[in-house]
Amino acid sequence: MSAKQQPRFRQPDSSLLVFGIGNSGREDDGLGWAFLDRVQQEFNFQARFEYRYQLQIEDAALICSAERVVFVDSFNGQLPGGFRWTRCKARSDFQFTSHVLPPEAVIYLCRQLYSTEPEAYLLAIQGESWKLETGLSNTAQGNLKAALGCFREHVGSWPGFFTKEGQKTGNYSI
């Protein structure tokens, strides 16, 4: 294939798995899902996207084949800038209930059951309203936009990610 026939950008394989955690029927609790919707609409790369009300033990099997995993969830509290991006490491000191399984526990189960551990991150996005209604508060919408910029910056620095313009970058505007 000649240089003229080469695509302008290379989409990475689906070794990136992104979980959106939440419930779009509870206002800002739907930030994780809204994040996935926006990434799929506005970014130009391939990843696996999973929508979850909550993480489950079975998710350890899903993440075992991923090189990188990003968990995106709403946060009820104050965060500088409206979001927080942190490295997510396996932790064995979790309490399992039918409604709460933290990302660190899923990573721990992946390591214990499948002898592998993907590079993982947690993107917490600050919300403020949790009523039984659809749609995000104005504050959550602003925080979502800021979190998308952070995600773009981090994912843009990983090998194999290119924007529509063919530039490896963290400044592809949405």
In a domain, 4, yes or no: no
Q: What is the mean pLDDT of each run of 10 residues along the chain (174 residues)?
A: 36 74 97 96 85 95 95 97 96 72 95 96 98 97 97 82 40 31
Closest Cα to residue 82, out of 148, 27, 37, 133?
A: 148
Contact between 30 and 131 under an 8 Å Cβ cutoff? The reply is no
> Given this model, what pLDDT does residue 110 score?
96
> What is the number of domains present in the chain?
1
Question: Which 3 state secondary structure label does DSSP give 71?
Answer: strand
The CATH number of whichever domain residue 108 belongs to comes to 3.40.50.1450
State residue 161's pLDDT score: 54
Residue 103, domain extent:
11-156
The answer to whether the CB of 34 falls within 8 A of the CB of 73 is: no
